[in-house]
Amino acid sequence: MSILTQAKLHPSLQHQLHTSHSPILRTAVHCSAATTTKPNPNPNPKKLVLEPPIRRLEPPPPLLPNPTRPQLNDPSLLSTWSHRAWVASGCTTVLVSLAKSITCAANSHMWAEPILAGLVGYVLADLGSGVYHWGIDNYGGASTPIFGAQIEAFQGHHKWPWTITRREFANNLHALARVVTFIVLPIDLVCDDPIVNGFVAVCSGSIMFSQQFHAWAHGTKSRLPPLVVALQDFGVLVSRSQHSAHHREPYNNNYCIVSGVWNEFLDKHKVFEALEMILFFKQGVRPRSWSEPSSEWTEETETTSQLTAQ
């Protein structure tokens, strides 16, 4: 016995299938059935074909407009006084938290716990940098509230990774310094705990400076300070080789940019891929990394003429 079943589609949906350019999820289930009372004369029984309900998916995030190629002396790479002010305020709030931790630790003669809290803060800052980087790399667009500028900046970074090495210090750090100021300042005002202040100081400081660590990961060994190269080699800072893998196909790994200590675990266990699947099936939103490598992800390298123009 064999059965062939096909789902009937509403005429409007059939029309849509032939005219729409929106992505359609199709799933087919194939199985076969044969009687046991009588030998089947047909050695290749017809297959049962089930066409499940067709589900329309949300389109992928809108592609960002192709920004103009930055120049070596592009004003957008320079620091402004506003950038410097935000970095100064971020550093101040971090140092106040650190000073409070040390003062409280000295008063209570308790050193091991605040130091341990600082180490935990450093390790978790790497994880936080990876989650944040994954989120803005894959979701939203230039018009997304709050994060739009960062999303656009990271897309530009994928296309022209070398620009981060030309970006001035405060220009590179000011966005995260602003976030750190707003979060750490209230904690500084109300908290006098050596452990909490130690954790907050190291974690927030590491997150604020993650963009500097990221810039160093794009540097060449001969041009970086020897201490930075040593810290990269020891795994204290994200290494150049580890981060360069982020800028190569399949563009969906090595998101952490503080120490990179979480990258192997997250990639080996496909944590971000699992989160992407959950978001896809729950919300119907596709991450950008599922797209074929497009011009957004294709790196344009620094040209010889630009290098010689330095």
Residues forming contacts to Zn ion in the complex (CB under 5 A) are: 137
- The gap between the terminal CA atoms of the chain, to the nearest Å, is 77
Sign of the CA dihedral 247, 252, 257, 259? negative
Task: Give the nearer residue to Zn ion in terms of CB position, either 148 or 284.
Answer: 148
Task: Give the nearer residue to Zn ion in terms of CB position, either 192 or 249.
Answer: 249
Q: Alpha-carbon distance 156 to 137, whole Å?
A: 11
Picking from 280, 283, 260, the residue whose alpha carbon sits closest to that of residue 133 is: 260
Cβ at position 217, least distance to Zn ion in Å: 7
Run of H or E residues at 29:
strand 29-31
Task: Give the nearer residue to Zn ion in terms of CB position, either 137 or 267.
Answer: 137
Cβ at position 216, least distance to Zn ion in Å: 11
Task: Give the nearer residue to Zn ion in terms of CB position, either 108 or 244.
Answer: 244
Cβ at position 187, least distance to Zn ion in Å: 29
Cβ at position 155, least distance to Zn ion in Å: 9
Cβ at position 295, least distance to Zn ion in Å: 16
Task: Give the nearer residue to Zn ion in terms of CB position, either 137 or 152.
Answer: 137
The CB-nearest residue to Zn ion is 137
> b/e string for 35-71 if b means 16 or more Cβ within 10 A?
eeeeeeeeeeeeeeeeeeeeeeeeeebeebeeeeebe
* Cα–Cα–Cα angle for 28, 32, 36, rounded to 5 degrees: 165
